Structure 1
Amino acid sequence: MPAITTRRATLADLEAIVPLFDAYRGFYGQASDPARARDWLRERMQRDESVVLVAEREGAVVAFTQLYPMYSSVRTARTWILNDLFVAESARRSGAARALLDAAAEFAREQGAGGICLETTRDNAPARALYRKAGWSEDATQWYSHTFGG
């Protein structure tokens, strides 16, 4: 199997990431809208509001993860939220997801972050198994959300 490599994405990677981001949104029940996906990613990247990492196989982008900064007053440190992670169907079980998890953790450490977190649904057993195998801890913290339209 060809090797998976990871790196931080740039705006030059935008068109390669858009189909993955659109499919990621589709996985969570959103209608396909590549223009909206492109605009969202471009704006986040241009404003340095997120960090996008990509996984490549034979020079093609096959997966991405998007990290958002957050701050911990208690720890007086920046932390990162691994908000999005998606692997193209053709690249699943290739090690791309694990490579991105490891790259995200390394990025956060290099930035001097106090930690990195993510959230997934309780019924996403494959993802939860991967996260545990990659050294992530699962806790019983109760998360609440308050959504506003759209």
Structure 2
Amino acid sequence: MQPNTGLDIRPLTPADRSAWDPLWKAYLDFYDHVLAPDVTDLTWSRFIDPAEPMGALGAWSDGALTGICHHVLHRSTWAAGTYCYLEDLFTAPEARGTGVGRALIEATAVAAREAGAEKLYWQTHQDNASARALYDRVARHEGFLVYERPLT
């Protein structure tokens, strides 16, 4: 596929919910994760609440939402300012390889910088070779492993 230069990257608005839902579901399916509908609703409400330290960007091409990217701003014990965690990044299968993922990462970096964040970081599964190929071009892997312990 050719790079998509006609992308419109912008924050998602309440009117974008119906376009976001299928990509969110596809992202959860990709990671074989089931999420309760009320958690999805809460997540969406956080994206559109200006008091929340969360944001959602969308990549639009020819009027269709082709990618989504969610981020969280948070304090750090290692910095006076904030960090930005890119929590979710998903490109519709038919738009992969067209620059959507890279454009969303770059737009998230701009949003993070404008919010005063000192660092943008994210994680992915070690087996996600296509995503890692992109990530290796736009960032560096610091060698850390992620451990997770459910608390419920």
1:98 aligns with 2:110: no
Residue in structure 2 matched with residue 20 of structure 1 by the alignment: 23
**Residue 114 of structure 1, aligned match among 114, 118, 125:** 118
Q: TM-score, normalised by structure 2?
A: 0.87
Matches of 2:43 and 2:15, distance apart in 1:
12
CA distance in 1 between partners of 2:26 and 2:14 (Å): 19
* Number of matched pairs: 147
C-alpha distance in 2 between matches for 1:72 and 1:82 = 15
The code of the aligned residue for 2:146 comes to W
Contact kept, 8 Å, 1:14 with 1:41, in 2: the verdict is no
Amino acid at match of 2:27: Y
Q: Which amino acid aligns with 2:137?
A: K
- One-letter code aligned to 2:57: L
Unpaired runs of 5+ in structure 1? none
1:82 and 1:68, CA in 2 relative to 1: closer, same or farther beyond 3 A? same
Tell me, yes or no, if the aligned pair for 2:12 and 2:48 is still in contact at 8 Å: no
- In the superposition, the TM-score normalised over structure 1's length comes to 0.88
Task: Note the C-alpha offset of 1:37.
Answer: 6.5
Query: Residues 30-55 of structure 1, C-alpha deviation per residue, up to 9 Å, x if partnerless?
Result: 2487x457413323224424100000
Equivalent residues in 2 for 1:16-95, closer than 5 Å? 16-31=19-34, 35-36=37-38, 38-47=40-49, 48-95=52-99
- Tell me the amino acid that sits aligned with residue 97 of structure 2: R
Structure 2 unpaired stretches of 5+: none
Distance 1:9 1:121, change over 3 A: same
Q: Which residue of 1 aligns with 2:150?
A: 147
Identity of aligned residues (%): 31
> RMSD of aligned C-alpha atoms?
1.9
For 1:42, the aligned partner's letter is W
- Aligned partners of 1:141, 1:38: CA distance in 2, in Å? 29
Per the TM alignment, residue 142 of structure 1 is displaced from its structure 2 partner at its CA by 2.9
SS of equivalent to 1:143: coil
The aligned amino acid for 1:57 is S
